[in-house]
A and B are shown apart, each in its own frame.
Chain A
Amino acid sequence: MSPEDCVDLYRTMVRIRVFEETVRRYHIAGKAPGLVHLCTGQEAVPAGFISVLRPDDYITIYHRGHGHCIAKGSSLEALLGELLHRRGGVNLGRAGEPHLCDPATNNIGSTGIVGGSVPLAAGAALAAQLRGTDQVSVSFFGDGVLNQGVMFEVLNMAAIWSLPVVFVCEDNRYGEFTESATVTAGERYQDRGAVFGIPSDTLDGMDVLAVREAAEQAVGRARRGEGPSFLVFETYRFTGHHVSDQQEYKDSEEMRAWEARDPIPNYARWLADEGHVDDVAIARIHAEIDDEVEAAAKVADSMPHPGPEDLGTHVFA
C-alpha cells in the first residue's frame, strides 16, 4: 500500500466517525427521527474491507451500515439527506436508515430484517457467476445474524456452488441489548462457516490493516473463482444499539478496555510511526473532514421533505 492509500484508510475512518456524530446531533435535535444505529468504534471493518473492493463489486449491509455506504462511495449529502428523510436522499427519503441502499455504488443495502440481506449478497454473487464476470459480493452483518436460520441455508448454497461471496460478521458482542455469547452456542463463531467447508477465520476488527489484509485474501479468492469465505471481525460499538440506548447492560470496565482499542487514534499512531503523517497532517485531515461533513449536512438539511406525490411512486417498476 502506498503512503497515500494508508492515509486514505485513515480519512475513511474519520469520515465515518464524524458522519456518525453528525447523525447523532441531528437525531437528538429531532431531525433524524426513528431508530438510528451508529457504528462508532467499528469504523475499521467497513473502511478496511471495502478499500479492496471495486466499484462494480456488490455489498449488502445491515442496520449499522452508514460506514459501509460511506466506504463504498455514497454521496455524504444524499446519505445524510436520507437519514433526515428528505427527497434528495439517496433513496428519496422513503427508506430511512433501516433500509438504506445505494444503486449507484452497487450497494444492495440493508433491509431492516436481521439476516435478511445475507441471501441478497449471495444472489448477486450467483448473478456474477452465471454471467461470468469477476465481480465479488460481500455480505456485512452483525453477530445477531449468527443465529438466524436463513444464514445457514445461504452458507450451504454458497459452499456447494462456490459463489464469489465473502461473509463478514462484525461481532460487536451485543445483539441489540443482549450479550451474544449468552445466546450463541458453539466455541467459535467462525465454526459456522467452517462446518460448510468455507475458509473461515476470526480477526481483530479494531485494526484496519488486519481487516484490509484479510479482505485482500478473501476477496482475491472469490475473484479467482475459489469460492466464499466467512470472516468474523471482533469489534465493539462505543454507542448503544440505537442513539437513545443507555447501555445499562454493558460493563464499564469492558467499555473502557475496548475504547483503548479505538481504531482511529491507534492507526494514527501507526501512520506517524511509519512517517506517513505528522501531528499537523492529522489535524489537517480532521479539519478537512469536519468541514466536508458540515457542508454536506447543510445541503442535506436544506433538502425538502418528500411530498404527497412521492407516496405512491415506485411501488411497481
Chain B
Amino acid sequence: MQQTERQISLKAAVIEAIAEEFRRDPETFYIGEDVGVAEGIFKQTQGLHAEFGDRRVIDTPISEAGMFGLTVGAAVAGMRPVVEIMFSDFLTLVMDQLVNHAAKIHYLSGGGFRVPLVLRTAIGVGGVLGSTHSQTLYAWPAHVPGLKLAAPSTPADAKGLMTAAIRDDNPVLYFEDRMTYNLKGPVPEGEHIVELGVADIKRKGSDVTLIAFSRMVHVALEAADALAAKGISAEVVDPRSIVPLDTETLIDSVARTGRAVVIDGGHESYGIGAEVAATVSEGAFDYLDAPVMRIGAPHNPVPCSKPLEAMMVPSADQVVAKVERMYG
C-alpha cells in the first residue's frame, strides 16, 4: 500500500479541522476579533470566511467579556461555537463568563443545559510581544471544574484535538503555542480525532520520563537526543490535554523509568508542572529513584527584551542538566 504522508503546518491543520467540522455541522460558527476578512492576526483563520461567509465567521468588536458571554449563550441554546480569544493573556477579560458561567452552567442546571464551545487561544513566548501578549495561562482555567483544556504539539494532534474539541459537549479551551504555527508534520486527510484525555508517547525510552506540553514537547525531544548521546534513554510523553489528564499513561511511564521531569511553558511556580509532578509522585512513588522535577518559566513577567525574553522559554540544555542532576 502506497502512503504519501502529506505534510502541513500546525496552523493549517487546525484550520482544516475547523473547516471539516463546519462542513459537517451547520450548528457551528466561528467568532472573534479580526477573524473574518482579515483571517486572524496570525492568519490562523485563513480561508474560513471565504468558504463560510459572514454568518458563520463573525467579526466582533474588541469586547472580549461580552463577546465570549454571547458565545456561551449561543452554546447554551445548542449551537457549537468556536470562539477565539486572540492571546491567552486576554483570558483575564473573559474570566467571569468562563469561570462563573461556561464552567458551571451544566452542573447548576442539573444537567439540563450544555455549553459545547471551543475557546481557541494563543500561548507562548517569542517575537518580543511583551508581558501581556506572551503568557501561557492555562494553569488558571485548569483549576476550575467544568472546563477541559487541550494543548497540541504536532500538526496531526492539532487537527485531531480540534475535531474532538468541537464535538465535545463541554467548554474546551484549546491552546496553540503561536511559535509552533509553522511547524510542519504529517496530518491525516479527512476525519481525524484525538480524544481528549489520551496522552501520546512521542519517543520511547527507559531511564527517565520527560512529560511535556505543547511546544515544550519539541524541547523535550531535543533534550532526549542530547541525553541519548550521553547514554541516557529518555521517554517523551505528551499529555495532549491538560484536563482531562491521562494520569494512567503518565504514571505507567514513570513507574517504568523511575524518573520524571515535567516541562511546561507556563510559570513554574503554582503551575501545571506542579500538578503533574504531584500526580506522578503519588501514583508512582514506589518506583521513583529520584524526586520528580519541574521546569517552567521563571516567576517574573515576560519582558520586552529579546535576550531576556529568551530566558523565559525552557531549553533542552536545562532539561539535560536537570536529568543529569538526578544521577548526581
Contact = CB atoms under 8 A, between A and B. Distances in A.
Interface string A102-120: 1110001101110010111
Nearest to A155: B66
A153 interface: yes
B73 A121 contact: yes
A104 B71 CA distance: 21
A130 B61 contact: no
A153 B61 contact: yes
Interface in A303-317: 313-317
Contacts of A215: none
B106 A123 contact: no
Contacts of A119: 65-66, 68-70, 72-73, 97
Nearest to B107: A314
B74 A124 contact: yes
A120 B63 contact: no
B100 A150 contact: no
Interface string A85-98: 00001111011000
Contact of A116 (B78, B100, B113, B115): B100
Contacts of B69: 116, 118-120, 122-123, 150, 154
A95 to B, nearest CB: 4
B110 A90 contact: yes
A272 interface: no
B101 interface: yes
B239 interface: no
Contacts of A90: 110
A103 B107 CA distance: 12
A120 B69 CA distance: 6
A232 interface: no
Given A153-B65, A160-B61, A94 B108 contact: yes
B18 to A, nearest CB: 16
Chain B interface category by residue count: 35 or more
Contacts of B110: 89-92, 94-95, 314
A52 interface: no
Contacts of A130: 29, 55-56, 74, 79
Given A112-B100, A317-B111, A123 B71 contact: yes
A94 B108 CA distance: 6
B114 interface: yes
Contacts of B111: 92, 313-314, 317
A150 B64 CA distance: 9
Contacts of B170: 316-317
Nearest to A111: B101
Interface string A147-168: 0011011101100100000000
Contacts of A109: 108-109
Contacts of B114: 317
Contacts of B273: none
Contact of A108 (B67, B70, B76, B100): B76
B145 interface: yes
A123 B77 contact: yes
A108 B113 CA distance: 8
B155 interface: no
Contacts of B97: 116, 119, 150
A122 B69 CA distance: 9
A122 B72 CA distance: 10
A120 B73 CA distance: 4
B75 interface: yes
B157 to A, nearest CB: 21
Given A126-B74, A154-B69, A313-B111, A113 B96 contact: yes
Nearest to A95: B108
Contacts of A122: 66, 69-70, 73
Contact of B107 (A149, A152, A315): A315
Nearest to A112: B100
Contacts of B101: 111, 113, 116, 120
Contacts of B74: 123-124, 126-127, 130
A153 B66 CA distance: 5
Contact of B73 (A94, A123, A131): A123
B279 interface: no
Contact of A156 (B63, B107, B116): B63
Nearest to B29: A130
B146 interface: yes
B70 A123 contact: yes
From B56, B68, B113, name the one whose CB has the most chain A CB atoms within 10 angstroms: B113
Contacts of A99: 104, 108
A189 interface: no
A144 B72 CA distance: 22
A124 B73 contact: yes
B60 interface: yes
A126 B27 CA distance: 12
Contacts of B116: 317
Interface string B146-173: 1010000000000000000000011000
Given A103-B109, A116-B101, A122-B69, 12 more contacts: A95-B109, A101-B105, A108-B113, A119-B66, A119-B72, A120-B72, A123-B70, A153-B61, A156-B61, A156-B66, A157-B61, A316-B148
15 contacts: A99-B104, A101-B105, A101-B108, A101-B109, A102-B112, A108-B113, A119-B65, A121-B73, A150-B96, A153-B65, A157-B63, A160-B61, A314-B106, A314-B107, A317-B169
